[in-house]
């Protein structure tokens, strides 16, 4: 592996890295000046398109392409929503950017807004980030004072306001149309698409939703060029005409049973093994790994034998996972029963389902009821088939739900049961020796709720 | 329910200051609920009615949004400190369930409950986005990192 210089995290170890003074001392806002001093909005769009940047929020959609979906010559307003709802279990890279280097994010956001002709940006941040909230608000204030925000920015004629908007502890607000509904003051029920937000989004106007890390990448691309960005990562698979490649640096979050949990910047395409060994200091307590989540819990599971999986946009899919997701790797050591893992996953999704689509609402809650039963030693082998039946039938991939939360609920079920079936069966037989063959209906156990 | 006004002039001023930020009044719903909740540590029905009036909405619209989020209490205020013990996967793997049980026991509350002196409300949270510090607890604005039972004890003691 060639020596790789962190870029997105280059500033965070500086003293007072969150302040404008520190940011400008390392060339901060030079990119914005370059853009406003002579580039056209289309020029920036083209640059970002040429870089091959794909969204870092989970879906990996090409950013420049998304921007071109906005209607041409729209009279405005066009809105920009920066998605800082970051709630995917295992994920914390946006938090680190916002806490330690908020100006990098804001500079990227201003440039992105200029490129998309947005005059108002809503910075939608999850409630549970009090420090990030303060730092970003302070950074925005500094920008207004310095003339980087507000009317006629740096004499360019371009005007932009950024408003922070605070969530209220609901995972579904991270889904882009759930975010928009929440912003508008309603329950965060994702919208049926199309129309996509680029055509009809916030307040029924064309809207771009991008992730915090995506914005930071935009700033780096403006500074360093599309060629630099494309020199990092994984080129398109020549055998797959629809693969746009996985370019650029990526912030990988590493947590769970690892010696050195943390957020590490590496080229897209690093393998799980490399991440664990070269960055994470190995599995904790000298133990062996049993499995790992490749990109946030929604993405499913890799077995320890699959840790050669490259963490680029195409990698985890080849190993039966949903995708790269947020590139948050959670290591699970050999002592953890897979029943525990799956129970935890089902608990999360049944709590966070917005309840709008019957397959998701009922599927996630019945899955949790079954996992409660299995965990309590009342499981039946039949439950595994029932769980898989739910998993194979909820989500936008089978076409039964409005948003991807249900796919994210399904994948851990599919991967855990299909990749560790022997262990599940053994657990059920051992803990329920008299009843594991039961196929008649059995009663539900009491559930202890959250909040 | 009394009909005495709950929103103070300051709260009203703070809420109306949000109006120019959005093309619709309804978009001020969450900011307004946060403003009330920060002061009162809950959002009683009367406050919902008054917020609705300010935003040109029916109370049902505000109530609908409010109840979607499990976040806002309505019947009684939460404790002076509201603590979320993360129970999602990275924290779970590092002992979050045991930690939660331990803190409940130490503070003498049931999950979701508030101590008799009103000092602490203790709840589960889902991933707090601080998984590198698992198991973690967010108590008001303070993130407690890699929390051991001893640290948890000290935290509960500090509230007395
Ligand atoms: C259930 C669900 C939760 C999501 N949560 C987030 C989130 O917290 N942050 C985020 O940026 N994207 C999240 N997304 C993806 C967004 O819908 C959207 O694709 C993304 O914000 C677009 O930004 P990007 O193109 O820069 O990646 C979520 C999607 C789903 C289905
Ligand atoms: S799939 Fe689930 S979370 Fe998404 S809209 Fe439907 S019910 Fe809500
Ligand atoms: S899982 Fe606990 S903070 Fe992320």
Residue A451's pLDDT is what?
45
Residue A441's pLDDT is what?
84
Residue B7's pLDDT is what?
97
pLDDT digits (tens, 9 = 90+) for A353-375: 999 999 999 999 999 999 999 99
Q: Is CATH 3.30.56.10 the right assignment for the domain spanning A338-431?
A: no
Average pLDDT over residues A103-126: 98
Q: CB–CB of A17/A28 below 8 Å?
A: no
CATH number of the A20-231 domain: 3.40.50.11540
For the CA of A212, the closest atom of ligand 1 is 11
Average pLDDT over residues B83-103: 98
Residue A130's pLDDT is what?
98
Q: Which among A111, A182, A167 has a CA at the least distance from the CA of A143?
A: A111
Average pLDDT over residues A334-360: 98
Domain with CATH 1.20.1440.230 in chain A: 338-431
Residues 36-55 of B with CB under 8 A from A: 55
Q: What percentage of chain B has pLDDT greater than the value 70? A: 98
Evaluate if residue A286 carries a pLDDT over 90.
yes
Evaluate if residue A88 carries a pLDDT over 60.
yes
Flag whether the ipTM exceeds 0.95. yes
Q: Which among A170, A185, A256 has CB closest to B29?
A: A185
**A94/B126 Cβ within 8 A:** no
Domain with CATH 3.10.20.600 in chain A: 246-333
pLDDT digits (tens, 9 = 90+) for A391-440: 999 999 999 999 999 999 999 999 999 999 999 999 999 999 999 999 98
pLDDT digits (tens, 9 = 90+) for B133-144: 999 999 999 999
Give the mutation candidate from B68, B98, B121, B125 for the A interface (greatest A CB count, under 10 A). B68
pLDDT digits (tens, 9 = 90+) for A187-208: 999 999 999 999 999 999 999 9
Evaluate if residue B160 carries a pLDDT over 90.
no
Residue A398's pLDDT is what?
97
Q: Is CATH 3.10.20.600 the right assignment for the domain spanning A246-333?
A: yes
Residue A444's pLDDT is what?
72
Band of residue B3 on the pLDDT scale cut at 50, 70, 90: low
Evaluate if residue A446 carries a pLDDT over 80.
no
Band of residue A442 on the pLDDT scale cut at 50, 70, 90: confident
Cβ(A325) – ligand 1 distance below 6 Å: no
Average pLDDT over residues A285-303: 98
Evaluate if residue A54 carries a pLDDT over 80.
yes
Evaluate if residue B148 carries a pLDDT over 80.
yes
Domain with CATH 3.40.50.11540 in chain A: 20-231
For the CA of A175, the closest atom of ligand 2 is 4
């Amino acid at each position: 592996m060639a020596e790789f210089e962190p870029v997105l995290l280059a500033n965070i170890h500086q003293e007072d890295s969150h302040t404008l003074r520190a940011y400008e001392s390392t060339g901060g806002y030079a990119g914005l000046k370059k853009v406003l001093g002579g580039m056209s909005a289309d020029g920036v769009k083209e640059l970002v398109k040429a870089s091959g940047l794909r969204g870092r929020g989970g879906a990996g959609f090409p950013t420049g392409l998304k921007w071109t979906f906005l209607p041409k010559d729209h009279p405005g307003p066009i809105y920009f929503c920066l998605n800082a709802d970051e709630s995917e279990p295992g994920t914390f890279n946006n938090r680190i950017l916002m806490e330690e280097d908020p100006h990098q994010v804001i500079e990227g956001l201003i440039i992105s807004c200029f490129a998309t002709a947005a005059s108002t940006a809503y910075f939608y941040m999850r409630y549970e980030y009090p420090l990030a909230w303060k730092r970003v608000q302070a950074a925005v204030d500094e920008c207004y004072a310095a003339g980087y925000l507000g009317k006629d920015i740096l004499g360019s004629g371009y005007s932009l306001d950024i408003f922070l908007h605070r969530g209220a502890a609901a995972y579904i607000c991270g889904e882009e149309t759930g975010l928009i509904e929440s912003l508008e003051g309603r329950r965060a029920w994702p919208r049926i698409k199309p129309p996509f937000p680029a055509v009809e989004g916030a307040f029924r106007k064309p809207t771009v939703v991008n992730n915090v890390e995506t914005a930071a990448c935009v700033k780096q691309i403006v500074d360093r060029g599309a060629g630099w960005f494309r020199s990092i990562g994984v080129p398109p698979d020549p055998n797959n005409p629809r693969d746009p490649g996985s370019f650029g640096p990526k912030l990988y979050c590493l947590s769970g049973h690892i010696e050195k949990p943390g957020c590490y910047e590496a080229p897209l395409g690093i393998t799980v093994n490399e991440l664990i060994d070269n960055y994470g200091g190995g599995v904790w307590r000298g133990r062996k790994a049993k499995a790992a989540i490749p990109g946030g819990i929604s993405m499913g599971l890799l077995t320890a034998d699959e840790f050669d999986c490259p963490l680029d946009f195409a990698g985890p899919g080849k190993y039966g996972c949903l995708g790269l997701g947020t590139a948050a790797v959670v290591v699970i050591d050999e002592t953890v029963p897979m029943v525990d893992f799956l129970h935890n996953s089902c608990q999360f999704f049944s709590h966070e389902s917005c309840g709008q689509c019957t397959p998701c609402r009922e599927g996630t809650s019945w899955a949790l009821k079954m996992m409660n039963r299995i965990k309590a030693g009342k499981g039946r082998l039949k439950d595994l088939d029932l769980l898989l039946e739910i998993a194979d039938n909820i989500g936008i991939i089978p076409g039964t739900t409005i948003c991807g939360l249900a796919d994210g609920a399904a994948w851990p079920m599919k991967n855990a049961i299909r990749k560790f079936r022997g262990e599940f069966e053994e657990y059920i037989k051992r803990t329920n020796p008299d009843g594991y063959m039961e196929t008649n209906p059995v009663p539900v156990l009491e559930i202890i709720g959250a909040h | 329910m009394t009909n005495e006004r709950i929103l103070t002039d300051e709260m009203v001023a703070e809420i109306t200051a949000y109006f120019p930020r959005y093309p619709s009044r309804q978009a001020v719903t969450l900011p307004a609920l946060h403003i009330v909740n920060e002061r009162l540590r809950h959002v009683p029905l009367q406050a919902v009615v008054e917020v609705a009036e300010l935003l040109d909405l029916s109370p049902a619209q505000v109530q609908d949004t409010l109840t979607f989020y499990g976040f806002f209490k309505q019947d009684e205020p939460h404790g002076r400190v509201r603590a979320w013990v993360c129970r999602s996967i990275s924290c779970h793997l590092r002992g979050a369930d045991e930690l939660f049980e331990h803190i409940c026991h130490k503070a003498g509350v049931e999950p979701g409950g508030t101590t008799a002196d009103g000092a602490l409300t203790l709840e589960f949270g889902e991933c707090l986005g601080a998984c590198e510090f698992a198991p973690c607890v967010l108590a008001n604005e303070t993130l407690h990192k890699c929390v051991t039972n001893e640290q948890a004890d000290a935290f509960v003691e500090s509230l007395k």
